[in-house]
Structure 1
């Protein structure tokens, strides 16, 4: 049912190219309108005497006057100034948003929802988000609660690793669990399909187009203060006139911006609705959420003064109705509901703060155990396309993590202790040395929590270890910069303490640092033949981790799948962390459509011996995640 994950990403890349083209067109329109306004202003004043001084304004038509102006040097300088202004403004906004979705959530008045909240409605929301994250192969995002009583939500961020979810209080309190799950699944679809990055780039592009009008508004506002001297009043009049002129010119940017935003948004909402239905196998959940928006007094409107800027991010329209469908960022509610539930008869639902009845979700089909021969195809098909069966499996795995550990994952001190506990060595002597080192470098409260939590952590099955790491992410994101540096140094120290790096240790550190640090996304430029040495190291790592009885044969399976020449098997189980990191930094630069080939070859190595252990399945997921390819939990 779902479109291939990599095709979604490729489509998002093409839409970005379309945005660049639209920016060029919009900027050209701004330049032309500006030249017309300047030419008209000069023509009316009858005092233009620069490069077209040979023309007498009294004896020429405005068309001739405009033509002469377009050929003048002044028009060139105006064009250069506008292009520079648009590009600088767009770049400024883009760099601002690259920090993550927190910037947008805070602009809209959102406050971080504490992971250890004891309020039942907040706990229910966090549980749904955790289930959806684990089921989709994403790290658990931070959740921001907006004060609005309307029903709305959004996902924001420049990529999966710094995504946040924003949920209005009305959405949290007025929707049942099934309806809330449908909304959250819709937002995770935007995360998986690359829509967040597109949305952020769209905001930056619109800011560039609108900058002239915004500058004019600033000048008009600054001119409203009372002035006491004649010179000051003259200066104010000048600023006021210039401001009105810029606002008039900028209105072209406003129109272009709204058309561009609407053009790239509406179809993505239909796609996200369809993906949410597949994710939950419960069309009634998301349909009823939309019906409640239609029947709610406050609908989906947001009160923030920045609501219009980010209107294309929302689950439903967050601003008032537009005068034309040309400017609408969301399809009509009725159209969305009709596509999800064709039998709908046009009725809406009313809701209030106590209307959170429990609805019966259709029972999930159990996720079929993947046979080794189908492992590669099944793993790639599930990528970016989680189903209700994956949600069910995620719930089961989370249920096996005790409440004690889940609660610990939601608090910064104990979340650090859990990560340290996962890295403690099985050897008693090495473990004592590690704890001794932590006693000298970590916070005493964290060391105390480590001693208390370790007995339960060491009992976790491999399939529960990475989900526990993912649960820790929102709490770890609360660390200050100095706290994080101490934490990172301690993680690296624990990994290096036994003189070797296991693949699990590398995967854990890679997931941590990729999700807690601002990492510049690698430019996709390589084919597999360009990174033979790095692929050789990756294959050797997977073979060593799988403890294949025929390591050379397993390695060759991957080589044959890629038709790779020059690959060399490294018979070792002692790889250096910096060597692995360097290899994966290069592999992350593979062209998008080369990544499924590489992952398929890794899957062939994993299944080469006719058996797939839970550890191997989780390692495959971790490798895919480090290549920015989310894989839902796999049943093996």
Structure 2
């Protein structure tokens, strides 16, 4: 129920924000007597596409805490929590960013994630399973990987790419939907679009959205390589490799990371080699990541 509530709340926020922006800009209907008003349509799609991405970005820390049950360490209650805070503080300072919030979430699987709307207001969280089974050097490498995401500004860049992709998916779905409605169902100039137009547009939103997600997932995979490199430079290449191999060895453990958080996690779920489906994975395979690290000229 919580996830449904968060989904509805996020979408309500998007509608409110997008509606206000469109009103301020004075953007009217994109359906006119002579057909589609492409300028209004493009503005409508850009506002809704970008609003969806950036509302999610600004709410990302709050949503992450709620969906994963992350407990932020306000004051360390034991030596392990104190070590986590000290280690993250050191890595953040070396990366030139402000100290992020640090948290722990319950999961039998070793995992971690970073999120936040900018590099100086982030959250880094690790799973209880990771703390139980990884060595201190491996945990440090995982934390360095997550700090790398924050320092690289990956959350903002991914939101920008997702927003632009969303906008063009909406734009072309409505252009093609309008063409089909006129050519196949005979809607004439000046006639309001009917159910056929809206049904076609909804289907095209889904189809184009799936295809376009390959672009977003390409960047997601690219940023994992960059974060692995940051982890290697901050915590040692072999430690980063060892941490990744540990994640690979745990592939049969139950994955308790919420689906909406998997793209932010250090481990998405393992897959081998290349296939068409790999185009839609948010992470490269562990083997690909280890191979890239082995070629990296760093100790």
TM-score band by shorter chain is: 0.5 to 0.7
Cα deviation, residue 183, structure 1: 0.9
Greater share of residues in strand:
2
CA separation of 1:120 and 1:320: change in aligned 2, threshold 3 A:
farther
Q: Contact 2:49–2:164 at 8 Å: present in 1 too?
A: yes
Inter-partner Cα distance in structure 2 for 1:273 and 1:297: 19
| Contact 1:158/1:200 (<8 A) preserved | no
The answer (yes or no) to whether the contact 2:251–2:270 under 8 Å persists in 1 is no
3-state SS, counterpart of residue 164 of structure 1: strand
Q: Indicate conservation of the 8 Å contact 2:114/2:122, yes or no.
A: yes
Deviations 1:88-142 (A, max 9, x none): 2223234425647524523643434222131444333223212212333322100
- Alignment partner of 1:328 is 2:281: yes
**How far is 1:324 from its partner?**
1.9
Matched, 1:307 2:254: no
Inter-partner Cα distance in structure 2 for 1:263 and 1:171:
27
Contact 1:179 1:288 in 2 (8 A): yes
CA distance in 1 between partners of 2:198 and 2:41 (Å): 16
Q: Is 1:117 the equivalent of 2:76?
A: yes
Deviation at 1:145, TM superposition (A): 2.9
Rounded to whole Å, the distance in 2 between the matches of 1:335 and 1:148 is 25
- Measure how far apart 1:243 and its partner are: 7.6
In the alignment, structure 1 residue 288 sits paired with structure 2 residue 288: no
Equivalent residue, structure 2, for 1:337: 290
Deviations 1:270-297 (A, max 9, x none): 22222221212x2222112111111114
Q: 1:303 to 1:139 in 2, by over 3 A?
A: closer
* Structure 1 pair 301–258 and aligned structure 2 pair: CA distance change class (3 A): farther
CA distance in 2, matches of 1:284, 1:146: 26
Counterpart of 1:42? Answer: none
Residue number in structure 2 paired with 1:141? 100
- Using the alignment, how far apart are the partners of 2:52 and 2:241 within structure 1? 35
Map 1:89-128 → 2, pairs under 5 A: 89-97=48-56, 99=58, 101-106=60-65, 108-128=67-87
- C-alpha RMSD of matched pairs (Å): 3.6
**1:317 alignment counterpart:** 268
**Gap runs ≥5 in structure 2:** 1-31, 172-193
Distance change >3 Å, CA 244–CA 180, structure 1 → 2? farther
Contact 2:141-2:243 within 8 A present in 1 as well: yes
Shift of 1:338: 2.5
Q: Deviations over 1:159-206 (max 9, x none)?
A: 222122132332233221111110111122222223232123234445
1:73 to 9, 17, 34: 34
Can you give the 5+ residue segments of structure 1 that lack an aligned partner in the other structure?
1-50, 52-71, 213-237, 343-386, 389-636
Distance, in Å, in 2 between the alignment partners of 1:151 and 1:202 is: 29
Residues 208 and 300 of structure 1, relative CA distance in 2, 3 Å threshold: farther
Q: Does the C-alpha gap of structure 1 residues 290 and 166 become closer, same or farther in structure 2, counting only changes over 3 Å?
A: same
The answer to whether the Cα contact below 8 Å between 1:105 and 1:144 also exists between their aligned partners in 2 is no
- Matched residue of 2:107: which SS? coil
Structure 1 residue 211 displacement after superposition: 6.9
1:209, 1:253 within 8 Å by CA — same for their partners in 2? no
Distance, in Å, in 1 between the alignment partners of 2:222 and 2:58 is 27
Task: Please state whether the residue corresponding to 1:256 is helix, strand or coil.
Answer: helix
Instruction: Provide, for residues 22-62 of structure 1, a one-character-per-residue CA deviation record: whole Å limited to 9, x for no partner.
Output: xxxxxxxxxxxxxxxxxxxxxxxxxxxxx9xxxxxxxxxxx
| Aligned with 2:227 (options 232, 255, 272) | 272
Q: Secondary structure at the match of 1:156?
A: strand
Report matched runs for 1:471-482 at 5 Å.
none
Separation in 2 of the partners of 1:164 and 1:339? 27
The 5 Å alignment of 1:498-517 reads none
In the alignment, structure 1 residue 156 sits paired with structure 2 residue 115: yes
Structure 1 segment 239-278 matched on structure 2, within 5 A: 245-278=200-233
CA distance, structure 1, for counterparts of residue 168 and residue 70 of structure 2: 30
Distance verdict in 2 for CA 1:203–1:314, change over 3 Å: farther
Write the mapping of 1:590-605 to structure 2, written as runs, cut at 5 A. Answer: none
1:184 partnered with 2:137: no
1:169 maps to what in 2?
Answer: 128
Asked whether the 8 Å contact 2:166–2:209 carries over to 1, the reply is no
CA distance in 1, matches of 2:266, 2:154: 12
Deviation of the 1:261 alpha carbon: 0.9
**TM-score, with structure 2 as normaliser:** 0.66
Distance 1:300 1:243 in 2: 40
CA distance in 1, matches of 2:132, 2:200: 46
> Are the structure 2 counterparts of residues 303 and 265 from structure 1 closer, same or farther at C-alpha, using a change threshold of 3 Å?
closer
TM-score, reference length from structure 1: 0.34
C-alpha displacement of 1:150: 2.3
CA contact (8 A) 1:210 1:257 kept: yes
